[in-house]
Structure 1
Amino acid sequence: MGYKVVVAGATGNVGREMLNILAEREFPVDEIVALASRKSLGTEISFGDKTLKTKDLDTFDFTGWDIALFAIGSDATKIYAPRAAAAGCVVIDNSSLYRYDPQVPLVVPEVNAEAVDGYKAKMIIANPNCSTAQMVVALKPLHDRARIKRVVVATYQSVSGAGKEGIDELWDQTKGMYVPGQEVAPSKFTKQIAFNVIPHIDVFLDDGSTKEEWKMVAETKKILDKRIKVTATCVRVPVFVGHSEAINIEFDEPLDWQEATDILREAPGVLVIDKREDGGYITPVECVGDYATYVSRIRQDPTVDNGLNIWVVSDNLRKGAALNAVQIAEVLGKRCLKKG
């Protein structure tokens, strides 16, 4: 016996990926519905070898449905998540709305799968920020071995993290660079993104950090360990899909790079590609479409006691969003709902 599953926001990049991954991983679905806003009503969406027509999110009755995967943004989630939860449907939400609510589990299954058990408080489980998700997958097995005390991370985040508008802006600006008179001014981003990098994601906070940087700090503490000190610099780069991170880690105990490599090779969700030669590492274009969180450039940091540097790359539309949501649904089914 399978589940009755809702995908809300099915016409967006993440919603489409959710449907693809549900089919790819053969999630036990008895019935599935794709929801979208009224302007997208009737749009045809692929689900495995089937074609679904989107239904209206605003009028949908969640009664009798088991799990709803939400990819509709915080404003719409604020309206529809409580409605679904009140109808007895567990919401797995990709927005930031509930991530910092102490009554809502924030889950990366490779890291804190047991947190799913707390879903009943609000019938909602939160999916973390894309840059946080891939980082904690890599940090967890190292933390278990030597306890991490401080993380310094610089992210290189693709434009797909800003949605379709971000992808379109990079594409249009890149084309415009080669056609005189057809240059495209920044709209989605604060500066030109083509052939450029922008050290600014989300709004600025009073302390000079951005909200994206704050998210990485707060979410790492909630998911992994509140004692870990985290500082982040988040940068948008002219890459369509795939987030990269340069991570410096300080541990309480000695951990050499060879042992760290062995630990990461055995870690769930991690794939180590690390040859100390030209091309012996992963870049974003090579991770697109994959489930794994890739780790490369594992090396000692000789400037601090018990320090390591690593390079982490993942498909942000998959592990950073859709895949993680489906993995949460899988854990929820096995640990709590127990139908499939």
Structure 2
Amino acid sequence: MTLPTRPLRLDGSGRTDRAMASLIGVVALYRRLSGMSGRRRPPVATVARDLPLVVDEVRREADGVAGLRLVHERGAPLPRWRPGAHIDLSPRPGLVRQYSLCGDPADRSAYRVGVRSLGEGSAAVHALEKGARVTARGPRNAFPFVASPAYLFVAGGIGITPILPMVRQAAAAGADWRLVYTGRDEASMPFLEELSRIEALFPAERSSALSGDRVWIRPDTTYGIPASGAELLEGAPEGAPIYCCGPAPMIVGVRTDAALRASGPVFFERFSPPPIVGGEPFRVALARSGRVLDVPADRTTLDLLRETVPGIAYSCRQGFCGTCEVPTVTGDRVRICVEREPVSLDL
């Protein structure tokens, strides 16, 4: 980490306060990591195929979490996928949401997703029953899993869904792996029994900061507070890639502390839009209506359009799915969930 060359002087005497200089560097790193969004990643390949699916099974995986097994309506094999992939699921016409595939990539007879009840999209999924017909597009992968002799997996709550197939593949490949799984309480954390079975089949061969266990279940109710990034990184195999999925504060904590301790590369996926850090206010013109929207520094164009244009389409709110693309008056298209420049939209 590079610290400022001229740290702040607290009392005007010209003496350097080293502790404050270090704090400034950490805060700067935190802000930089917090401000990164899906726009900085390579674009996710578009998959232009609609899959007619049928709900084959609905299970209660945890408090507020439904697990769905989806099969092709004609019984055909489903497209191949790799750990980290997701599908765009439409539980009803006009509504699309992204859900990570959490089943077995080798099983092409069905897709499995785990969905926590959080909003309109998840409520529609939770209302589905066995035999219901839905449409999916994909799979696509914005969270690719790389080959390595060792891994640390960090999952928060429903963030376990893309991590679970990675754990299975790492275990089957004989890699040295550890999983830290956090949540509000055990009742809200899905797939605990499945993880226990995987750990029993592939026990750790050596002791570690995790007391020799492959899987560390860390509910907040047991420890009193959410885990820090440093705590989540305990027991990481040296130089191993870190795969992290969960709430934005957890991801930022892991990335910040991983950078400070020269850990392996951090791969992450968010299930919610990243916070806007260091934003500037700007204006968006709506050409057809003649309206001008003043977008505050801490909000997005999508936020304002949801209040002024009923039915505006959106899904991931991170810039990779393309659902929120809107044409401009010049014929270009912008993704209004991440676009932060003045623009005139053809709306």
Q: Same fold (TM over 0.5)?
A: no
Higher Rg: 2
TM-score, normalised via structure 2 length: 0.27
Higher relative contact order (CA closer than 8 Å, sequence separation 6+): 1
TM-score, normalised via structure 1 length: 0.28
